[in-house]
């Protein structure tokens, strides 16, 4: 039976979420902007999804903008905040380990005169809040730092960063919580951010659905134009089924998060111990302050891609890092920022667990993964671990 250890890339849609979505693809197919009975039913479902998702993250329904995924939410947050604040300043501060949705959106803004400043991270991939404070100036309009890294799992000190940012009047803080949202306590008021991006498919919800939480009173310029949907902040007919699925997924996870995180963390630690027993393997990311479901490694003397392919032949799904960068020969910008030389960074391996991961699967992975890593590293013929 195949073992799926790539939950950081995407997760299976849980049955309760699928059940909640199915009626919206059938009798509830109406356009929520239509005035007739079909439209009103869809509008009711959509409004309810706003309410439930907002409640799951400690916000208000009018602060939630539904999007086509985490990437669109991030682009709306960064570009919308930057252009809205352009009259005040042009400086944007970010970290060196952000998701490509952030780095590429900011690179685009840089073409229009915005000054993009990257603060460094330490060996564990963590930002020093003092570095953020030193980078702040009177022209700073936005700071973008993720809640936790999608490749190595390191959790960032967002509360301390928020305190520095908000001491500088006029600067907004965006937090990418797409990877962290399913696993860390997620109450937007406690994050003290102004903008928080979320995605459904990391929390056993549907792909192609995300949301941006915008603190009430935060000025943002829409980036998608057309109709007046989402309070004129994101035009386009809403994905009602996706919205209901995302709300259901986050609602379920909010209730079970502590217990799920504790169980998955224990499974992950067993897997980490087994892989670290192989010579030349190093755990990457913060040893303690990391997401409970991500185990990331450097395997010296091996190519991470070769290990992933060998594991796939053994029925285990893994990755070298971000799924958004799969197929690229470039070294992970995250590992490079953490100080790993290119030859070592090419040996990246990420194993990520989920709520549905079983103890039996972890037991089998603890047997197979170390054997495969040894054989690939040593150049042995064949990868069968039995």
Comparing CA positions, the residue from 219, 178, 171, 210 lying closest to residue 193 is: 171
Sequence spans of domains, the chain = 3-10+257-378, 15-252
Query: Is residue 176 very low, low, confident or very high in pLDDT (cuts 50, 70, 90)?
Result: very high
Q: Give me the chain's average pLDDT, please.
A: 95
> Is residue 119 a contact partner of residue 94, using CB atoms and an 8 Å limit?
yes
Which tokens go with 198? Answer: 């979320």
| pLDDT tens per residue, range 269-322 | 999 999 999 999 999 999 999 999 999 999 999 999 999 999 999 999 999 976
Burial 159-184 (b: 16+ CB within 10 A, else e): ebbbebbbeeeebbbbbbbbbbbbbb
Position with higher pLDDT, 331 vs 203: 203
User: What's the topology of domain 15-252?
Assistant: 3.40.640
Distance between CA atoms of 317 and 315, rounded to whole angstroms?
A: 7
> Is residue 141 a contact partner of residue 91, using CB atoms and an 8 Å limit?
yes
The answer to whether residue 121 scores a pLDDT higher than 70 is yes
DSSP-derived secondary structure letter, 203:
T
| pLDDT tens per residue, range 17-76 | 999 999 999 999 999 999 999 999 999 999 999 999 999 999 999 999 999 999 999 999
Q: Considering the domain 3-10+257-378 in this protein, what is its CATH number?
A: 3.90.1150.10
pTM of the model: 0.95
Rounded to 5 degrees, φ, ψ at 173 are -120, 120
Distance between CA atoms of 114 and 107, rounded to whole angstroms?
A: 9
The answer to whether residue 83 scores a pLDDT higher than 50 is yes
| pLDDT tens per residue, range 130-144 | 999 999 999 999 999
Rounded to 5 degrees, φ, ψ at 86 are -60, -30
Q: Which of 159, 189, 313, 324 is catalytic?
A: 324
What pLDDT was estimated at residue 49? 98
The answer to whether residue 384 scores a pLDDT higher than 90 is no
Known catalytic membership, residue 366: no
HSE (side-chain half, CA atoms, 13 Å) at 216: 7
Strands (E), 155-301: 172-176, 195-199, 210-214, 281-283, 294-299
Tally Cβ neighbours within 10 Å of residue 263. Answer: 16
Q: Are strands 64-67 and 91-95 parallel, antiparallel or unpaired?
A: unpaired
């Amino acid at each position: 039976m195949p073992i799926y250890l790539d939950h950081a890339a995407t997760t299976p849609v849980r049955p309760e979420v699928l059940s909640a979505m199915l009626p919206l693809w059938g009798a509830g197919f109406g356009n929520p902007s239509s005035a007739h009975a079909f439209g009103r039913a869809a509008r009711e479902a959509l409004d309810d999804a706003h309410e439930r998702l907002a409640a799951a993250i400690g916000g208000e329904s009018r602060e939630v903008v539904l999007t086509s995924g985490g990437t669109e939410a991030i682009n709306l947050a960064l570009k919308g905040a930057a252009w809205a604040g352009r009259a005040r300043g042009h400086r944007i501060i970010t970290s060196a380990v952000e998701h490509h949705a952030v780095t590429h959106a900011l690179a685009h803004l840089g073409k229009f005169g915005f000054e993009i400043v990257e603060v460094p991270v330490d060996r564990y991939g963590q930002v020093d809040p003092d570095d953020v404070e030193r980078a702040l100036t009177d022209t700073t309009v936005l700071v973008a730092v993720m809640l936790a890294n999608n490749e190595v799992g390191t959790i960032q000190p967002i509360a301390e960063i928020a305190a520095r940012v908000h001491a500088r009047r006029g600067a907004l803080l965006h937090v990418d919580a797409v990877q962290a949202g399913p696993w860390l306590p997620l109450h937007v008021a406690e994050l003290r951010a102004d903008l928080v991006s979320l995605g459904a498919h990391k929390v056993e919800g549907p792909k192609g659905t995300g949301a941006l939480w915008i603190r009430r009173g935060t000025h943002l310029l829409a980036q998608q134009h057309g109709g007046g949907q989402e309070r004129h902040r994101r035009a386009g007919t809403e994905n009602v089924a996706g919205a209901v699925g995302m709300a259901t997924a986050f609602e379920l996870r909010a209730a079970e998060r502590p217990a799920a995180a504790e169980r998955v963390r224990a499974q992950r630690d067993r897997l980490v111990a087994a892989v670290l027993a192989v010579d030349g393997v190093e755990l990457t990311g913060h040893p303690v302050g990391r997401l409970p479901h991500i185990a990331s490694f450097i395997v010296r003397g091996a190519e991470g891609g070769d290990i992933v392919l060998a594991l796939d032949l053994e029925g285990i799904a893994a990755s070298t890092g971000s799924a958004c960068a799969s197929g690229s020969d470039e070294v992970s910008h995250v590992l490079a920022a953490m100080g790993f030389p290119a030859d070592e960074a090419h040996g990246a391996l990420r194993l990520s667990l989920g709520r549905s991961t079983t103890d039996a699967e972890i037991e089998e992975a603890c047997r197979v993964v170390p054997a495969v890593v040894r054989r690939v590293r040593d150049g042995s013929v064949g990868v069968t671990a039995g």
